[in-house]
Amino acid sequence: MRPIIAINAKVYYPHSFGAHLLRVLRALERIADEYDVETILAPPHTEIKEVSSIAKKTKVYAQSVDPVNPGAHTGSVIVEGIKDFVKGSIINHSEKRIRIDEIEVVVRKLNEYGLESLVCAPTPLTAASVAVLRPTMVAMEPPELIGTGISVSKAKPETITDTVNAVREIGFNGPILVGAGISTGDDVKKAIELGANGVLVASAVMKAKDPYEKLKEFAGASVASNA
Ligand code: G3P
């Protein structure tokens, strides 16, 4: 399986918007050309159309989608509204949690439209629980490490091994990503050595002085440890 480098842009300002965001997209496109990795970018909802009009190799994902059908819902983002611009969506990020029955609804709706689903979970056992819903991929991120710069690979390596074991045990064969605090090539290398198929990252790339250099570090490490 090709290592996956998924970037959740969140809504850092100004980093996640306009020209700053497009700089990250261009960096992802470059590393997708230069390394045997799959790249994903989840921009803020307001930036999805522009990013998707430019992205070629990088899959554009929504950061979230609401578990509702078209109709009388105020402020909701529905699958039907984004389906022509994204390849999939993050679901149940720790900063945007929904109930397990709602996760099921969104995974099913995305699937109906041929879109991918990346379901997040805060612990190994929760990751296995959401994997039962057969999303495209799962991502385990200990919430207390998110945005700290202290990586899951270094601070809680056992949660990566436990996630891989628990998720594979229920027969889920899709990619398993890990995230939270991933900051260096070494963090990426360790995550992949422990059995992850890729990483889900935000601040280290979105706030990097040179996003391309940071992504190159990640891509190089992921390809080397995947070999
Ligand atoms: O979705 C990725 C995210 O929660 C990890 O954030 O800033 O620790 O890379 P960060």
**Cβ of 202 less than 6 Å from ligand 1:** yes
Whether 81 has a binding-site annotation, put simply, is: no
Q: What is the pLDDT of residue 224?
A: 86
Parts of the chain with a pLDDT under 50: none
Active site residues: 93, 141
181 CA from centroid of ligand 1 (Å): 6
71 CA from centroid of ligand 1 (Å): 32
ipTM above 0.95, yes or no: yes
Q: What is the pLDDT of residue 225?
A: 84
Q: What is the pLDDT of residue 64?
A: 98
Question: CA angle, corner 194, sides to 192 and 195, nearest 5?
Answer: 65
Q: What is the pLDDT of residue 182?
A: 98
Q: What is the pLDDT of residue 226?
A: 77
Q: What is the pLDDT of residue 180?
A: 98
Residue 45: partners with Cβ closer than 8 Å, 6 or more residues away: 62, 63, 77, 82
Compute CA 103 distance to the chain's CA centroid, rounded to the nearest angstrom: 16
199 CA from centroid of ligand 1 (Å): 9
Please answer whether residues 161 and 194 qualify as being in contact, where contact means their C-beta atoms are separated by less than 8 angstroms. yes
Please answer whether residues 142 and 159 qualify as being in contact, where contact means their C-beta atoms are separated by less than 8 angstroms. yes
Please answer whether residues 58 and 39 qualify as being in contact, where contact means their C-beta atoms are separated by less than 8 angstroms. yes
Q: Please classify residue 115 by burial: count the beta carbons closer than 10 Å to its beta carbon, then call 0-12 exposed, 13-18 middle and 19+ buried.
A: buried
Q: What is the pLDDT of residue 217?
A: 98
42 CA: nearest ligand 1 atom: 1
